[in-house]
Amino acid sequence: MSMDKIGLRFRTLLAVGTITFSTLLIFTLIHQNSIFYFVDGFSSINVLSANNNPNATVLKQGIKDHKIAYSSVDNKVLGDKDQNVMPGIFQQRSEIGPKTHSLEDQKKDTSQSSTSIANDQFLDGLLVSTFDEASCLSRYQSHLYRKASPYKPSAYLLSKLRNYEHLHSSCGPRTKSYNKTMRKGSKFSKDDAGTKCKYLVWTPSNGLGNRMLTLASAFLYAILTDRVLLVKFGTDMFGLFCEPFPDSSWLLPRNFPYWKDQKHIETYETMLGNSKKKISKELLPQFLILNLQHTHDGHNNFFHCDQSQGRLQKVPVLILWSDQYFVPSLFMIPSFRQELSKMFPEKDTVFHHLGRYLFHPSNAAWEQISRIYEAHLAKANERIGLQIRVYNTHRSPHQTIINEIIACTLQHKLLPELDVQKTATSLLKKRTSKAVLVASLFSEYGEKLRTIYKTSTAMTGELIKVYQPSHEGRQKSNNDTHNIKAWTEIYLLSLCDALITSPKSTFGYVAHGLGGLKPWILQRAYGETIPNPPCQRVMSMEPCFHYPPKYDCKANNTVDFTSLFHHMKHCEDVSSGLRLVNAN
C-alpha cells in the first residue's frame, strides 16, 4: 500500500473521528433499527466453535444441529469456514457467522475428544493435574478461552519442571530444611552448602509487568541452579495469582528473618570484592543480596560470568532484587547453555512456556477476566488487542497516537477501512465481527475509537466493537485493586488474536508472551507527526531485556552480545535491549 493511499484514508478517518454531533445523531436515528438488529442478533446467537473442533464428525454434527436449530428458537451458527460447506444457509436470516470461545458454549460441547481436552487443559504437559480445581479455576478453564499454542514444550523442559516441583515440595516453606536454613545467624561451611536446600527469594520492584518478567526469569534461574523460588508478595500481590507449585507454597513466610529490613545483608558485589582480597576460608554468607536492578550501577557487570555463578552457587539464600527480564543473561553463561538448549530448542518460547506455567489468575481475577471475556470478546470472530502506554502525553498527544494506531491497523489489515458514504448498503453486507480490546490508563483511546467505529461502518461490512475495561489515570504499583485490574487486562490482551502494543512496555511483553503472539509495536511518536512506518512487527514473542550486560567476561572488554550469539537480537522498540530469537 502506498503512503499516498494511506494518507488519503487517514484524512477520511480523521473526518470521521471529528464528525459533528448532529450528523452523529441523524446517523443513529436512521440506522437505529439495523444497529439494534445486529447487536441483538449477536448476544442471542449460540455458536458452535469450529476452531476447536477440526473434526469432520463434529462439523457434520454441528451442521445438523444448525439445521434443527434453524427452525427452532435457539439458532446455532457455524464459523465462517463452514459457510463453504453449506453455502447460502446463512443468507436468509443473518450473515453473521462468528466462531465463539464462549465458556458456556464450550462447556456444553462435549464432542471434543477427552485426550485433546486434557492436552489443551494441561498445556501439553506443562501443568500437572493434581491441583484442587476450586482453588484455582483459571488453571482448568483458561484453555476454553485461549487457543491451543502451536509451541510445544520439550520433553526435557517437562522433566525439569517435574523435578523442580519435587524439590519445591521437599524444601518449601515449613519443611525441616526450610526452618533450618532460614534461621538468622547460622553459618554454613562450604562442605555443608552442597547438601542443603537452597533458596532464591524474589522481591517486588517496579510495576506489575516488570515484576512478572523478573518472576519468570527468577524461576528459570532457580531451575538452573536447583534453588527453591520463594516470592515476597505484599498485600498488593497476594490476590493476583494461584499457587503454581503442587503440594506446597511459593509465598515467602512472613517470619522470614529479613522480611522488613535487608540493609545488613551482604551484597554480591561486596562478596566479589572480598573474594579478590582474601577468599574467606570456611564461612560463606548465608543470605546474600543479588542486585540486578537496572538502576544499580554494578547491575550487569558480572552476573553473567561463569566465575560469579560458581561463587553464588554456594550461598544458601539469594535475595533477588531485579526489575528486568534477565533471561538473556542466563543464555550467556557457559555452564547453563547446554541445559537451556535442551529445555528450549525453540529459544523464543522461554517466557511463553514459563509464563503459562507460573501465572494463573486467582479466582478473584478470573471472575473479572471471564466476565469481560464472555460479555465483550467471546462472540467476535476476531479479537484485536490494543495496549497503549504513553509515558509523556505532552510529547505525544492522544490524537497522534490514535492516528498512529489507525494507520497501523490499516497497513496490516488488522482493522478494516471505513465506508463513509455507503453506510446503508454495507450494513446489509455485514457478516463478521471484530472486538477491539483497549488497555490504557487513559479513557480517551477507547472513547475515540468507539466513536469512530460506531458512527461508520467498515468497507468490508465487518462489525467493529471497541471495549476498554478500565482507565486508571496513572500507574499505582502498590495497590492491589489496581494490580488486579492490570493483571486482568494483561490476561485479556493475551487472549486476543492479534496485538498492537506500545514501545518499551513490559505490560505488553507479558501479554504477547503469554499469548504466544508477535505483536505490532507502535513507533514512538513525537508531537503531531505520525511515525512512518507507524508500527513494526516484532521478530520474537520473547520480552525485551532493556538493560543487558555489555561486558565480555572472557575477553575482559565491552561487547555487543548480538555479535556473539545468533539467537540474540536488539529489540525493535529499545535499540540497546536484547531479545531472544529462534536461531542457533
Ligand X SMILES: *[C@@H]1O[C@H](CO)[C@@H](O)[C@H](O)[C@H]1NC(C)=O
Q: Report the Cα–Cα distance between both ends of the chain, in Å, rounded.
A: 34
Choices 228-236, 266-274, 368-376, 478-486; region in contact with ligand X by CB under 6 A? 478-486
> Which of 93, 183 has the CB closer to ligand X?
183
* Residue 57 binding ligand X, by CB under 6 A: yes
Residues 226-265, mask of contacts with ligand X (x by CB under 6 A) = -----------------------------x----------
Interface mask toward ligand X for 386-425; x: CB under 6 A: ----------------------------------------
Q: Which of residues 142 and 483 has its CB atom nearest to ligand X in the complex?
A: 483
Phi-psi region of 227 (alpha: psi -120 to 50; beta: other; left: phi over 0): beta
CA 474/CA 441 separation, integer angstroms: 6
- Please identify, among the stretches 175-183, 258-266, 349-357, 414-422, the one whose residues bind ligand X according to the rule CB under 6 A: 175-183
Options 55-63, 280-288, 362-370, 519-527: segment touching ligand X (CB under 6 A) = 55-63
Residue 179 as a binder of ligand X (CB under 6 A): the answer is yes
* Closest CA relative to residue 166, chosen from 226, 219, 99: 226
Rule CB under 6 A: which of 480-509 touch ligand X? 481-482, 485
The β-bridge partners of 77 are 47
CA-based nearest residue to 373, from 80, 106, 122: 106
Cα separation of 19 and 1, whole Å?
Answer: 26
Integer Cα distance of 385 and 217 in angstroms: 25
The DSSP code sequence of 183-238 is STT--EEHHHHTTS-EEEEEE--S-HHHHHHHHHHHHHHHHHTTEEEEE---HHHH
Rounded CA-CA distance 387/212 in Å is 17
Among 168, 171, 202, 173, CA closest to 319 = 202
Closest distance of CB 378 from ligand X, Å: 23
Residue nearest to ligand X (CB): 113
Could you say which of 176, 337, 395, 422 contacts ligand X (CB under 6 A)?
Answer: 176
Q: Which of 110, 338, 556, 563 binds ligand X (CB under 6 A)?
A: 556
Based on the shown chain and the rule CB under 6 A, indicate whether residue 476 belongs to the binding site for ligand X. yes
**DSSP secondary structure letter of residue 478:** T
Binding status of residue 56 toward ligand X by CB under 6 A: yes
Which lies closer to ligand X via its Cβ, residue 32 or residue 179? 179
CB closer to ligand X out of 232 and 482: 482
Task: Name the minimum Å distance from CB 148 to ligand X.
Answer: 15
Alpha helices by DSSP H, listed for 241-386, are 268-277, 306-312, 327-332, 334-343, 350-358, 363-372
Give the cell for residue 399.
Answer: 490524537
* Residue 22 near ligand X by CB under 6 A: no
Q: Using the rule CB under 6 A, is 451 a contact of ligand X?
A: no
Measured distance CA(107)–CA(103) in Å, rounded? 6
**Strand pairing of 433-440 and 457-458?**
unpaired
Residue 362 Cβ vs ligand X, minimum distance, rounded to whole Å? 16
Residues 113-142 that bind ligand X (CB under 6 A): 113
Show the binding pattern over residues 503-542: x = contacts ligand X (CB under 6 A), - = does not.
----------------------------------------
Q: Output the smallest distance, CB 186 to ligand X, in A.
A: 14
Query: Which CB sits closer to ligand X, 299 or 485?
Result: 485
Measured CA to CA, the distance from residue 108 to residue 74 in angstroms comes to 14
Read off the C-alpha cell for 84: 463453504
Q: State which of residues 443, 451, 479, 536 lies at the interface with ligand X (CB under 6 A).
A: 479
Please state the closest distance from residue 189 (CB atom) to ligand X, in A. Answer: 23
The residues that touch ligand X, with contacts defined as CB under 6 A, are 55-57, 113, 174-176, 179, 255, 472, 476, 479, 481-482, 485, 556
